[in-house]
Amino acid sequence: MVYAVCCVPVSPLRSEPAHRSEQVSQLLFGERCKVLETGRDGWVRIVTLYDGYEGWCTLPQLTEIDMDDYLHAHADLSAEWAAELTYNGHPMHIPLGSSLTAVHNGRGAWRRNELRYSGQVWVSHAPEPKAIRHQAFLYLNTPYLWGGRSVFGIDCSGFTQGVFRFFGIDLPRDSSQQVSRGETVGFLQQAHTGDLAFFDNEEGRIVHVGILLGEHEIIHASGKVRVDRIDSQGIVNGETGQRTHQLRIIKRLF
């Protein structure tokens, strides 16, 4: 197997070929990858097509596709929080933002594997604040999960990456990489809904990111996807009143 696609709702991507290893990211259903190395006990090291992330996953959660499908297949994004499709005649629920790779008019095939999908697909359009806010709120109360990228569990940069993907803005996987994108907004008072706010630790390293909802609120994944207050110093937890993150920089992507 050289080219593959994720054939389960969510597949963990791990730092080492072991189930107890750190989850560094995830593949969502239909996302494509290239196999770089085959290890023991059904583990393979892959690189994802979408964001170029590398890690280990297990073969039963992948199925082989042709190079042409890997490189060129059309892939709508699922637009429902948890949509149902049939895979080889069996029902499966896939998370928001799954890739309907090589699916046309509700039907598709990955070699000998047949897909049927009758749910909603995302109709791509340019980003604007109201639409960004709406899409971000679909993830509200999703539990925080290190390495997560789905509505079943997500981390801070997986959340921002997932939201902006719907609007044709492809962000890197990690917050420390995402901060290099966009134009700097000088002051919080100049921020718009949809701007990204980045936060650093005591060593000055970017460790957190969220989506601003104007100049006073932010939606971000911390414990869960939540809305908190923000000021020029950083995030203030809306429930406890405690300051949780130190603001470093604001970036505008559109």
Active-site residue list: 156, 208, 220
Tokens in use for 181? 């994108």
Tokens in use for 212? 């601003």
Backbone angles phi, psi at 169, to 5 degrees: -105, 110
Class of residue 190 by CB neighbours under 10 A (exposed 0-12, middle 13-18, buried 19+): exposed
Residue in the structure block whose two tokens are 């700097």? 184
Q: Is 97 helix (H, G, I), strand (E, B) or coil?
A: coil
The DSSP result for 23-88, as a single string, is EEEEEETT-EEEEEEE-STTEEEEEETTT--EEEEEGGGEEE--HHHHHH--EEEB-SSEEEEEET
CB 124 within 8 A of CB 166: yes
